[in-house]
A and B are shown apart, each in its own frame.
Chain A
Amino acid sequence: MKKIFIGIIALSAILLIPIKGVFAGGHYTGPDLSGQKVKIFGPWLAPEDESFRDVLSIFEKATGASVEYGGSDEFEQIINIDCKAGNPADIAVFPQPGLAANIAATGCLAPQGNDLKQMVLDHYAAGQSWVDLTTYADKNGKDQFYGIFFRVNVKSLVWYSPDNFEDNGYEVPETMEELLSLTEKMASDGNTPWCIGLESGGATGWPATDWMEEIMLRTHPPSVYDQWVSNEMAFNDQKVIDAMNFFGTFALNDKYVAGGSKAVATTGFRDSPKGLFTSPAQCMMHRQASFIPAFFPEGVEAGVDYDFFYFPAYASKDLGRPVLGAGTVITATNNNPATTELMKFLMHPEAHERFMSKGGFLTPHKGVDKSKYASDTFRGLHDILVGATTFRFDGSDLMPGAVGAGSFWTGMVDYTNGKSAKEVADAIQASWDAIK
Chain B
Amino acid sequence: MEIFALILTVFIGLLCFVIYFGLSNFVLDYLLIYKNHSFVYENSIRVLIFIAPAFIVLFVFILYPVFETVRLSFYDKFGREFVGLHNYLWAINDPNFRRSILNNLGWLLIVPTLSTFFGLVIANLTDRIWWGTIAKSIIFMPMAISFVGAGVIWKFIYDYRGTGDQQIGLLNAIVVSFGFEPQAWLTIAIWNNLFLMAIMIWIQTGLALVIFSAALRGIPKETLEAARMDGASELRIFWSIIIPFLERTILVIWTMITILVLRVFDVIYAMTNGEWQTEVLANLMYDWMFRGGGDSGRGSVLAFCIMIGVIPILVWNLYRHRQEQQYEN
The answer to whether the Cβ of A81 comes within 8 Å of any Cβ in the partner chain is: yes
The answer to whether B292 touches A260 (Cβ under 8 A) is no
Q: How many residues on chain B are close to A (CB under 8 Å)?
A: 33
The answer to whether the Cβ of B22 comes within 8 Å of any Cβ in the partner chain is: no
The answer to whether B295 touches A413 (Cβ under 8 A) is no
Residues of B contacting A435 in the complex (Cβ-Cβ under 8 angstroms): 77, 295
CA distance A98 to B291 in the complex (A): 11
Residues of A contacting B162 in the complex (Cβ-Cβ under 8 angstroms): 258-260, 262-263, 282
The answer to whether the Cβ of B95 comes within 8 Å of any Cβ in the partner chain is: yes
The answer to whether the Cβ of A156 comes within 8 Å of any Cβ in the partner chain is: no
The answer to whether B294 touches A102 (Cβ under 8 A) is yes
| Chain A, Cβ-Cβ closest to B183 | A262
The answer to whether A80 touches B289 (Cβ under 8 A) is yes
The answer to whether B293 touches A401 (Cβ under 8 A) is yes
| Chain A, Cβ-Cβ closest to B185 | A266
Residues of A contacting B293 in the complex (Cβ-Cβ under 8 angstroms): 80, 98-99, 101-103, 105-106, 400-402
Q: Taking A427-B95, A434-B90 as contacts, is the C-beta distance between A400 and B292 under 8 angstroms?
A: yes
Would you give the shortest CB distance from B99 to chain A, in whole angstroms? 11
Would you give the shortest CB distance from A196 to chain B, in whole angstroms? 12
Task: Select B276's contact among A77, A80, A404, A413, beta carbons within 8 Å.
Answer: A413
The answer to whether the Cβ of A265 comes within 8 Å of any Cβ in the partner chain is: yes
Residues of A contacting B184 in the complex (Cβ-Cβ under 8 angstroms): 262-263, 265-266
Would you give the shortest CB distance from B290 to chain A, in whole angstroms? 4
Would you give the shortest CB distance from A396 to chain B, in whole angstroms? 10
| Chain A, Cβ-Cβ closest to B159 | A266
The answer to whether the Cβ of B160 comes within 8 Å of any Cβ in the partner chain is: yes
Residues of A contacting B159 in the complex (Cβ-Cβ under 8 angstroms): 266
Task: Select B187's contact among A80, A262, A282, beta carbons within 8 Å.
Answer: A262
CA distance A427 to B294 in the complex (A): 20
The answer to whether the Cβ of A169 comes within 8 Å of any Cβ in the partner chain is: no
| Contact residues of A between 240 and 277, Cβ < 8 Å to B | 258-260, 262-263, 265-266
A-B contact count (CB 8 A): 98
Task: Scan A151-190; emit 1 where CB is below 8 A from any B CB, else 0.
Answer: 0000000000000000000000000000000000000000
| Contact residues of B between 295 and 316, Cβ < 8 Å to A | 295-296
The answer to whether the Cβ of B78 comes within 8 Å of any Cβ in the partner chain is: yes
| Contact residues of A between 388 and 436, Cβ < 8 Å to B | 400-406, 410, 413-414, 417, 427, 430-431, 434-435
For chain A, the bracket of interface size reads 35 or more
CA distance A105 to B287 in the complex (A): 19
The answer to whether B275 touches A76 (Cβ under 8 A) is no
Q: Interface SS of chain A: helix, strand, loop or mixed? A: helix
The residue in B189, B273, B292 that gathers the most chain A C-beta atoms within 10 A of its C-beta is B292
CA distance A340 to B298 in the complex (A): 35
| Contact residues of B between 222 and 270, Cβ < 8 Å to A | 269
Residues of B contacting A101 in the complex (Cβ-Cβ under 8 angstroms): 293
The answer to whether B289 touches A259 (Cβ under 8 A) is no
Question: Which of A42-50, A201-209, A368-376 participates in binding chain B?
Answer: A201-209
Task: Select B292's contact among A106, A406, A430, beta carbons within 8 Å.
Answer: A406
The answer to whether A202 touches B292 (Cβ under 8 A) is no
The answer to whether A417 touches B289 (Cβ under 8 A) is no
The answer to whether A417 touches B294 (Cβ under 8 A) is no
Would you give the shortest CB distance from A223 to chain B, in whole angstroms? 26
The answer to whether A98 touches B187 (Cβ under 8 A) is no
Residues of B contacting A265 in the complex (Cβ-Cβ under 8 angstroms): 184, 187, 275-276
B residues at A contact (CB < 8 Å): 77-78, 90, 93-95, 159-163, 165, 183-184, 186-187, 189, 269, 273-276, 286-296
A-B CB contact pairs (8 Å), 30 listed: A76-B291, A77-B290, A77-B291, A80-B289, A81-B290, A84-B296, A99-B293, A102-B293, A105-B78, A105-B293, A106-B294, A204-B273, A259-B161, A259-B162, A260-B162, A260-B163, A262-B160, A262-B162, A262-B184, A263-B161, A263-B184, A265-B184, A266-B159, A266-B160, A401-B293, A402-B292, A413-B276, A414-B276, A434-B90, A434-B94
Given contacts A202-B269, A265-B184, 5 further A-B contacts (CB under 8 A): A262-B183, A263-B184, A265-B275, A282-B162, A401-B292
Considering the complex of A and B, which 5 residue pairs feature the smallest CB-CB distances, nearest first? A401-B292, A102-B293, A259-B162, A77-B290, A405-B292
